[in-house]
Amino acid sequence: MNFQLIGVNHNSAPIEVRERLAIPESRLPDAMRRLAEHPGVDEGLILCTCNRVEVLAQTKNGAADLRRFLREYFQLDPAQYEPHLYEYRESEAVRHLFRVAASLDSMVVGEPQILGQVKEAYATARAVGAVHSQLDLLLTRAFAVAKRVRTETAVGSSAVSVASVAVELAKKIFGSLQERHVYLVGAGKMSELAARHLVAHGAASIFVANRTHERAAQLAGKFNGQVILFEQLYETCDRADIVITSTGAPHAIFRREHGELFLSRRKNRPMFFIDIAVPRDVAPEMNDLDGIFVYDIDDLQQAVSTHVADRRREAERAEAIVQSEVERFQARVQTLDVVPTIVSLHDHLETIRQAEIDRVRSRLGPLSPEQEMAVETLTRGIVNKIMHTPISTLKTAAREPEATTVIDVVRRLFNLEEKKAARSGADRDQS
């Protein structure tokens, strides 16, 4: 495993730096191709979003100079961006990539777009052949980790703005917002925003009642809604499932008796009052009625801050998942690392065994099938006994950090070096 990652994100670098390093989508394939051809780089991938530019590489022996790649590619004064660069290697790089894909490194933690962006970068890199074996493994795992985080934690599931909380609550009450009617009482900016969110989530129609008629007409026009005279408010309000109030009235305009009236007209179908006005437009005791739900601006803001806290807590659980996945991935890659050594050790000893049998066969004269069998069994037995300890040591070491040292020792002891080079050369010719 020789992963290296270098980059800038919204935390490490201001926008001026990020925009200089941004690579337009049309030029990304070419950039990745050049990365893969950079000295010491086996495979490469570049992730470029508005919040980050990251270069990830699988290097031949951990010796690729990615800073040089950036210098050569961008031809910028390094002093402009190098102080903002972060650099990760090996498991740290793996962890970083997992965190990015799982949206734990995002500006808004849990936002869902980033995973799609990583997937796009992966598709581009595959298309130009910059990603084929080890990085392929790493990225596929990163997608699985992101999915695990999404399904096992609630990070990213809760709304973090007043308007989106309002939508979330409306959905908790009504399920789908299709066929639901929204009534705007008063025509403030905030209520317009909330209405816009509701409509975006499928709300059917908008009614607007405002003391000044022009403003109502103007707002209704934006949503293709219907203007209702303020005097008819109480007669018409039961048509709406969701009522957003934001008038400047000094006293509550909806009181308990109105709630009871609406409910009996609506056959007890629930109603959701979103009261953004201060002082409040909806009397708090309305919330005591079965089927009427009243949220004032404080309630909504309260919900927002709990959600933010929820996200933070869930993010911690997500970090734990990432940590365990990094360890799993490391173990897996290291096992993969020892496999070629085991194979070449086996090949090496088998070649010796065959050569020795061939050498003595002429001296032994013709052998009966039984004798042939006995020789075969004897030599195989010896070879297996000899191989047993190195192989089990390799397998145990695969799970430890010192894997590479053990691999080196075994290779040197059995003189496997040149054979490995020849083998990997052959592999490359085939692919």
Binding residues (CB under 8 A) for another protein: these are 151-152, 154, 157-158, 169, 171-176, 266-270, 287, 290-291, 293, 295, 299, 302-303, 306-307, 310, 314
Closer CB to another protein, 258 or 311, in the complex: 311
Closer CB to another protein, 300 or 407, in the complex: 300
Beta bridge partners of 183: 207, 243
Reported as type and span, the H/E element at residue 45 is: strand 41-48
Minimum Å gap between C-beta 382 and another protein is 48
Q: Which residues are catalytic?
A: 50
Closer CB to another protein, 313 or 388, in the complex: 313
Instruction: Evaluate whether 307 touches 160 at the Cβ level (below 8 Å).
Output: yes
Closer CB to another protein, 175 or 365, in the complex: 175
Closer CB to another protein, 302 or 424, in the complex: 302
Minimum Å gap between C-beta 292 and another protein is 9
Instruction: Evaluate whether 240 touches 181 at the Cβ level (below 8 Å).
Output: yes
Minimum Å gap between C-beta 280 and another protein is 14
Q: Report the DSSP pairing between strands 226-227 and 3-9.
A: unpaired
- The three-state secondary structure class of 58 is strand
| Integer Rg of the chain from CA | 33
Q: What DSSP string describes 114-181? A: HHHHHHHHHHHHHHTTS--SHHHHHHHHHHHHHHHHHHHS-TTTS--SHHHHHHHHHHHHHSS-TT-E
Q: How far apart are alpha carbons 140 and 125 in whole angstroms?
A: 13
Minimum Å gap between C-beta 349 and another protein is 45
Beta bridge partners of 43: 58
Residue among 174, 196, 193, 187 at smallest CA distance from 241: 174
Reported as type and span, the H/E element at residue 336 is: helix 297-364
Minimum Å gap between C-beta 158 and another protein is 7
The number of angstroms, rounded, from the C-alpha of 310 to the middle of its chain's C-alpha atoms is: 18
What is the 8-class DSSP label of residue 288?
G
Q: How far apart are alpha carbons 286 and 293 in whole angstroms?
A: 8
Other CB atoms closer than 10 Å to residue 305's CB: what's the count?
10
Closer CB to another protein, 140 or 176, in the complex: 176
The number of angstroms, rounded, from the C-alpha of 336 to the middle of its chain's C-alpha atoms is: 25
Closer CB to another protein, 120 or 299, in the complex: 299
- The three-state secondary structure class of 346 is helix
The residue count of the chain comes to 431
